[in-house]
Amino acid sequence: MLSSALLLQFLISGIGVGCVYGLIGIGFCVIYNASGIVNFAQGGFVMLGGMITYVLHARSGLSLLPAALAAVLIVAALGLVVDRLVVRPLWNRGATTFVMILATLAVQIVMERATLILMGDSPKSLPSFTEGGPLRLGAVAVNLQLLWIVAISLLLIAALALFFNRTKTGRAMRACAVNPQAAMLLGVPVSRMLAYAFSISAGLGAVAGILITPTQFVAYNLGVPFAISGFIAAIVGGFGNPLGAFLGGILLGVAQSLAIVVVGAGYKNVVALSILLIFLLVRPAGLLGGKA
């Protein structure tokens, strides 16, 4: 059997990946809560976060931190563009759920192919945020990047919680999620809230992408697997519940890690997808309930 140290190692890396999934899942929740739309292009934002940072850092010589920040801003702006060009026109024309989903899927394909054309299909990577070997805790080696991932994720979550609970805009967005008509009557500009939701989600996705790229790589076609993982996280946690999405992400990350131990790395996507199917069929309301 596996040594407990190795198992623990897998667990920890699972938590790290899980945090990233969780961030993507929160991105899904934010848009869903603001509009009822499931944004299938979310994965594209994640991929672009890593990709644009690579371009700015490795190709244009910017150091890592500014490159990352710039990338997040660019992707957040891209989220706004998607909202303006695709989502808003459909929304105004009363498009159905299915049409929205199909449209966001098409956006995903467009982002993917554009990246392929511009960047080619070879995987790119980013350096770890801090140099240095893995931290040793007893017999377990913890990759430093994982610590960064967890730390930044928690920070982001705290920031989001503050935003949604303490700021006027954040509360307005929550009001829209609960009852858009009432919110409108109270003078909340609902369409602007939707724009904020998209840029926040896109930004979150970008951060997730930047965090995870140093531990693996980024390529044009990683958008869909990221989106699936984020969606699973959101479903498992109970769609619409951001905290649940984060926990769901961690659960997924750990489950995947353990699955890698058992069936090997290649099938990890199949495992993830199977978890998705199981949850959809058995408990669509997720672990923490919420809108089913």
Partner 1 sequence: MFLLACAVIAVIVASGGYFVTVVCFAAIYALFVSGLNLFMGYTGQVSFGQNAFAALGGYSTAVLTTRLNLDPLAALLLGALLSGAIAFVVGFPTLRLRGHYLAMATLALGLIAYEVAVQWTGLTQGYMGISGIPGLGFAGVEIDDERLQAVVLLAIAGLGMGAALRLRHSRFGRALAAVAGDEEAARAVGINITHYKLAAFVLAAVYASVAGSLMAQYVGFVSPEVFGLAMVVLGFTMLYIGGIGNVGGPLVGALIVEALPQTVSGLKDYQDLVYGAALILILIYAPKGLAAINPGLPLAVQKNAS
Nearer to partner 1, 197 or 211 (CB): 197
Residues 234-273 that bind partner 1 (CB under 8 A): 235, 266-267, 269-270, 273
Piece of the chain touching partner 1 by CB under 8 A; list 9-17, 105-113, 168-176, 200-208: 105-113
As a dihedral over the C-alpha atoms of residue 267, residue 271, residue 272, residue 275, rounded to 10 degrees, the angle is 170
Nearer to partner 1, 89 or 189 (CB): 89
By the rule CB under 8 A, 93 interacts with partner 1: yes
Please report how many Cα atoms fall inside a 13 Å half-sphere around the Cα of residue 115, on the Cβ side: 27
Question: Total number of residues binding partner 1 (CB under 8 A)?
Answer: 38
- Minimum separation from the CB atom of position 163 to partner 1 (A): 26
Nearer to partner 1, 19 or 112 (CB): 112
Residues 212-231 that bind partner 1 (CB under 8 A): 224, 228, 231
Q: What is the CA 152 to chain-centroid distance, rounded?
A: 14
- Minimum separation from the CB atom of position 1 to partner 1 (A): 25
By the rule CB under 8 A, 97 interacts with partner 1: yes
By the rule CB under 8 A, 77 interacts with partner 1: no
- Minimum separation from the CB atom of position 266 to partner 1 (A): 5
By the rule CB under 8 A, 137 interacts with partner 1: no
By the rule CB under 8 A, 158 interacts with partner 1: no
By the rule CB under 8 A, 123 interacts with partner 1: no
Residues 9-38 that bind partner 1 (CB under 8 A): 38
CB neighbours (10 Å) of residue 61? Answer: 8
Nearer to partner 1, 97 or 179 (CB): 97
Scored b (16 or more CB within 10 A) or e, 143-177 reads bbbbbbbbebbeebbeebeeebeeeeebebbebbb
Tokens of 69: 């920040």
CA–CA separation, 134 and 131 (whole Å): 9
Contacts of 86 (CB under 8 A, 6+ apart): 103, 104, 107
Tokens of 42: 């979310």
CA–CA separation, 21 and 17 (whole Å): 6
Nearer to partner 1, 99 or 154 (CB): 99
- Minimum separation from the CB atom of position 274 to partner 1 (A): 7
Burial class for 30, CB neighbours closer than 10 Å (0-12, 13-18, 19+): buried
CA–CA separation, 186 and 127 (whole Å): 48
By the rule CB under 8 A, 280 interacts with partner 1: yes
Nearer to partner 1, 79 or 170 (CB): 79
8 Å CB contact between 255 and 275: yes
Q: How far is CA 165 from CA 19, 161, 169, 172, 175, in A?
A: 22, 6, 9, 10, 11
8 Å CB contact between 99 and 76: no
Nearer to partner 1, 74 or 112 (CB): 112
Binding interface with partner 1 (CB under 8 A): 38, 40, 86, 89-90, 93, 95-99, 101-103, 105-107, 109-110, 113-114, 116-117, 224, 228, 231, 235, 266-267, 269-270, 273-274, 276-277, 280-281, 284
